[in-house]
Structure 1
Amino acid sequence: MDLEAVRTFVAIAEAGQFQKAAVDLSVTQQAVSKRVAALERDLGVRLFTRTPRGAEQTIDGQAFLPHARELLRVAERAVASVRAGRRPLRVDVLTSRSAQSGLMRDFHRAHPEIELDVVMIFDVGTAVDAIRSGAIDATFRAVAMPGRPLPEDVESVRVFDEPLQLLTGPAHALAGAKSVTLAELVGHRIWMPGIVPGTEWGAYYDDLVAEFGLTIEATGPNFGSDALLDTIADTPALATFMSEQTRLVWPAGYGLRRIPVTDPTPVYPHSLLWHRDNAHPALATLRAHLAATAAAADRDAAGTWRPRWVLPH
C-alpha cells in the first residue's frame, strides 16, 4: 500500500477538501486526486463523495480512517527505530547476570535519558557480524582471540577486567579458607559446565589450565546458575569459578562460600566493540562513560593474570 496515498487520504479527511489537503501537503490538487484514485483502486471501494461543500467520506472511508492513521503512526515508529539519535542504543551483553550487564546498569543510572535495547548474543562471530550489519551498536567481548583478528571496520577498547573467585559448598576442603592461590587449586576439580570449544571463554580457560596446571571440567550441559549452585552446594569434591561481580541468590541452607583467588588473581578481560562508522550519539556517551570507569581501576595491577592474547588497554 502506498503510504503517500494513505497520508493524502487522511489529509483530505481532516481538511474536508481536496484543495486544502493539497496546500497542506505542498502538492498540486491534481496529484491529490490521482493518489486518492489509486488508493480507491487498490481497496476496491470509494472513499470520498464530492459535494458542493467539499469532500465527504463514504461509509467505507469512515471505516478506513482509523486504520489509515495507525498505518502512518507505525511508519513513523519504523523510521524512528533506525534513525541515529532517535532509536535506542542496542548493546549486546553475554548474560543478564554478567558483569557486562552490571556495566550497562551503571551506565543507565548515570544517563537515564538514553534509551537502551540490551540483547544477548552467544557467539562472538555472530556478535561481530551484527555490529557490521548495524543490527547492534556495540558488544562486550574478550578480544582478540588467538588466530581470530577483528575485521578492519570494527574497533575495540578494553574497558573492564573481571576478577574471578572460587565458589564452594560448605563441605569442600577449601571452604574455610579466607583466600586461595592458584597453586593451591592444583588437584582440585573445578566444574565449569557448558564451555564450548572455540568460544572466547573456552580459549580463556584453556590458557588458564595450560599455565597453572588446573583441572577444569566442562562436562554436561549448562542448565543455568540455579542448577550449578545446587550441584556445588551438594558436592564436596567440586568447586567452580564465579566472578566477584556476578549477582547470585541462593537458599540460606546451601552455605556456599565465595573465596578470593590470589597470587595471581585471574581476571576475565572485557572489551567494547563497535563499528568505526557508527554515528549513534549515545555510543560516544557510552564509550566516554566506560573510559572514565576504566580510568578509576588499575586494570594491569600487579598480581593479576589474563591470557597473553588479550588486547592492551
Structure 2
Amino acid sequence: MDLDAVRTFVAAADAGQFQDAATPLSITQQAVSKRIAALEKDLQVRLFNRTARGAQLTIDGQTFLPHARELLRVEARADASVRPGRRALRVDVHSRRIAPAVLLQDFHRAHPRIELDVVTLDADVHAAMAAVEAGAVDATFHAVPIPARHLPDGIRTARVIDEHHELLVGPRHALAHARTVTPAQLAAHRIWMPGMAPGTEWADYYDELAAAFGLTIDLVGPVFGNEALLAEIADSAELATFAGERTRYLWPDSYDLRRIPVRGPAPIYPMSLIWRDDNPHPALATLRDHLDSRRVRSPDTEVWLPTWVS
C-alpha cells in the first residue's frame, strides 16, 4: 500500500477539501485527487463522495480512516526505531556481571534520557568486532590483542577499563585470611577456571599470566554455571578462582567466600570499547566521553600487563 496515498487520504479526511489537504502536503490539488483515486482503485472501494461543498467520507472511507491513521503511526515508529538518535544505543557487555556492565549502568545513571539496549553476545573479540562491523551492535567491550594496523577498516578501539584481579576463595583455603596476595604466592595454589575456551583473547591472557608467574590454571571440569562454581569453591580448602575487581557475584552468607586483591605486581586485564568510526548515533560519542572520564588509572606503581598492550 502506498503510504503517501494513505497520508493524503488522512489529510483530505481531516481537511474536508482536497485543496486544503494539498497545501500542508506541498502538492497540488490535482496530485491529491490522483493519489486518492489510486488508493480507491487499490482498495476497490470509493472513499469520498465529491460534492460542490467538498469531499465527504463514504461509509467505506469512515471504516478505513482509523486503520489509515494506525498505518501512519506504525510508519513513524518504524522510522524512529532505526533513525540515529531515536533508537536505543545497542551495546554488548559480554556478561552482565563484569566491569563493562557496571560501567554501562553508571552511564545510564548519569544519562537517564539516553535509551540503551544492553546485550550479551556469546563471542570473542573477533566475532564481537564482526558484529560491530556488520551493524548488529553499536559498540562492544573486549580486550583487543590485535595491533591497530590489523584492525578491519573503519573499526576503532579505545582502552577504557583496567580491571584488577581478586582471588576468590572459601573460608578453609590457606589464603583465606590474607589481606592481599602476590602472583608469586599463587604459584603453589590451584586456580580453577573451568570451561575457558581456547583461542579467545581471555584464554590467551591467562596463558601469558600463568607463564609469567608459574601459575597453575586448571580448566578441567564441566561448566554448571557461576552458582555451581561458587558453591564448589566455598566448600573447598584447595580451589580458588580469579574474579575482576568490579565483577558482581552474589552468594549465600553461609558460603563465607573471600575476595582478596592480587598485588605486587597487580595483574591488569585491559578492556577496550570497540565501535565503527562512521556510526552516526549521537549517544555513542557521549558514551565514549563518559568512559574516558571514568577510567580509573591503576594507583599501583607495579602492574603486570600482557605483552600485546602498548
Q: Could you say if the C-alpha distance between residues 63 and 127 of structure 1 is closer, same or farther in structure 2, counting changes exceeding 3 Å?
A: farther
Q: Could you say if the C-alpha distance between residues 56 and 104 of structure 1 is closer, same or farther in structure 2, counting changes exceeding 3 Å?
A: same
After TM superposition, give the deviation of residue 157 of structure 1 in Å.
1.3
After TM superposition, give the deviation of residue 300 of structure 1 in Å.
8.2
Q: Could you say if the C-alpha distance between residues 151 and 51 of structure 1 is closer, same or farther in structure 2, counting changes exceeding 3 Å?
A: same
Matches within 5 A, 1:180-219: 180-219=181-220
In 2, are the aligned partners of 1:144 and 1:150 still within 8 Å (CA)?
Answer: no
Q: Could you say if the C-alpha distance between residues 51 and 269 of structure 1 is closer, same or farther in structure 2, counting changes exceeding 3 Å?
A: same
After TM superposition, give the deviation of residue 146 of structure 1 in Å.
7.9
After TM superposition, give the deviation of residue 252 of structure 1 in Å.
0.9
Alignment match, 1:251: 252
Q: Could you say if the C-alpha distance between residues 14 and 100 of structure 1 is closer, same or farther in structure 2, counting changes exceeding 3 Å?
A: same
Structure 1: gaps of 5 or more residues: none
User: Residue 91 of structure 2 aligns to a residue in which SS?
Assistant: strand
In 2, are the aligned partners of 1:92 and 1:118 still within 8 Å (CA)?
Answer: yes
In 1, are the aligned partners of 2:92 and 2:139 still within 8 Å (CA)?
Answer: yes
Distance 2:156 2:97 in 1: 25
Alignment match, 2:49: 49
Matches within 5 A, 1:123-162: 123=123, 124-145=125-146, 149-162=150-163
User: Residue 190 of structure 1 aligns to a residue in which SS?
Assistant: strand
After superposing the two structures, state which structure 1 stretch, 56-65 or 181-190, moved more.
56-65
In 1, are the aligned partners of 2:183 and 2:264 still within 8 Å (CA)?
Answer: yes
Distance 1:218 1:79 in 2: 48
After TM superposition, give the deviation of residue 94 of structure 1 in Å.
1.4
Q: CA RMSD in A?
A: 2.2
Matched AA of 1:287: R
In 2, are the aligned partners of 1:145 and 1:200 still within 8 Å (CA)?
Answer: no
After superposing the two structures, state which structure 1 stretch, 33-42 or 202-211, moved more.
33-42
Alignment match, 2:92: 92
After TM superposition, give the deviation of residue 263 of structure 1 in Å.
1.9
Matched AA of 1:138: A
User: Residue 23 of structure 2 aligns to a residue in which SS?
Assistant: helix
After TM superposition, give the deviation of residue 308 of structure 1 in Å.
0.8
Q: Does 1:72 align with 2:105?
A: no
Q: Does 1:165 align with 2:173?
A: no
Alignment match, 1:11: 11
Alignment match, 2:233: 232
In 2, are the aligned partners of 1:145 and 1:203 still within 8 Å (CA)?
Answer: no
1:206-253 per-position Cα deviation (integer Å, ceiling 9, x unaligned): 111222221212234544322221222223331111112112221111
Q: Could you say if the C-alpha distance between residues 43 and 263 of structure 1 is closer, same or farther in structure 2, counting changes exceeding 3 Å?
A: same
Q: Could you say if the C-alpha distance between residues 182 and 146 of structure 1 is closer, same or farther in structure 2, counting changes exceeding 3 Å?
A: farther
In 2, are the aligned partners of 1:48 and 1:61 still within 8 Å (CA)?
Answer: yes
Structure 2: gaps of 5 or more residues: none
Give the aligned length: 309
Distance 2:160 2:193 in 1: 25
